[in-house]
Structure 1
Amino acid sequence: MDSALEFLLQQAKDNEDKAVMALNQSRTELDNYYQQLKQIEQYRMDYCQQLIDRGKEGLTASQYGHLQRFLNQLDETLSKQREAENHFKQQVTNCEQHWLEVRKKRRSYEWLIEKKQHEQQLAEEKREQKMMDEFSTLSFNRRRLNSDS
């Protein structure tokens, strides 16, 4: 077996393992992002409901202004969170592409190794057949010589 190919295959397997871990990590980060976004959206809805409930009881202009500023800050936070979505999605896409590339490389090395093994097996079978043919020829010639004597 070609030790250089075996070494390259092992490196490719290691790289593929690392790529899978990076892909899983990026998917986890995207899931965490969506969970965080959902929590902020839920918090905003809860806060709006509190604002409505407190408004029914009566608010001063100052209280209302304070609550409205806080709501605006929540809206800005949500806007920034939504902008970050593309970053997390792109990270997953990049990791998927990298994983596909290293997987393809690993498969290529495996194919080369299998091809070499097949070629070696064919060569060995050919050698064995040649030896059997030679042995048969020698045996035939011996029997012929022995029968001629």
Structure 2
Amino acid sequence: MADSAMDLLLERAKSDEQNAQLALVAAQQELEGYRRQLEQIEQYRFDYCKQMTARGQQGLSASNYGHLNRFIVQLDETLAKQRQAATSFEQKVEDCRIYWHDCREKYRALEWLCEKRKNEEKKRAEKIEQKQMDEFATLSYFRQLQKKSNLA
């Protein structure tokens, strides 16, 4: 494969790795935002329960109590759905992590291959240069011998 093709593959792999890393960071931020939202709902529920308890100590009608209780049940249902959604967010982060890791490994493998090819090309060039120098030295030696034999 030509060096330009390898360089193009290497550039593409690096770009894929960077994009995968950005996707991973975005998924992690999305998960953290979700967790903060979940904590806020839990805190709201806790505060609402405290408020209901305080009102209950002051005296609540059965109707008001039923209304407040239904709202807490709705909050509990919302929290249950949110917790189930956590699996989806966490799976997205894990999928992004795996994809990023795969892209990184592909990039590293191509980088290693390019480096290996460059080293092999350098060795070939050094052998050719050494061979040319040997030939030059041999030719030079024979020319000197020829000059000495022509002078003698």
Q: Shorter-chain TM-score: which interval?
A: over 0.9
Residues 90-126 of structure 1, C-alpha deviations (whole Å, 9 max, x = no match): 0011001111111111112111111111111001101
The aligned counterpart of 2:43 is: 42
1:145 Cα deviation after fit: 2.1
Residues 3-22 of structure 1, C-alpha deviations (whole Å, 9 max, x = no match): 11111111111111111111
The aligned counterpart of 1:52 is: 53
Letter in 2 for 1:115: K
Equivalent positions of 1:67-146 (< 5 A) are 67-146=68-147
Higher alpha-carbon deviation: 103-112 or 37-46: 103-112
Count of residue correspondences:
149
Letter in 2 for 1:114: E
Sequence identity percentage:
50
Letter in 2 for 1:5: M
Letter in 2 for 1:74: L
Where does structure 1 differ by over 3 angstroms across 4 or more consecutive aligned residues?
A: none
Distance 1:70 1:106 in 2: 53
Letter in 1 for 2:33: N
Distance 1:134 1:11 in 2: 43
Distance 1:87 1:53 in 2: 37
Letter in 1 for 2:67: H
Cα RMSD, aligned residues only: 1.1
Higher alpha-carbon deviation: 58-67 or 136-145: 136-145
Letter in 1 for 2:44: Y
Normalised by the size of structure 1, how large is the TM-score?
Answer: 0.95
Unaligned residue ranges in structure 2 (runs of 5+): none
Letter in 2 for 1:81: Q
1:147 Cα deviation after fit: 2.5
Distance 2:15 2:5 in 1: 15
Letter in 1 for 2:134: D
User: Secondary structure of 1:59's match?
Assistant: coil
Distance 1:61 1:50 in 2: 16
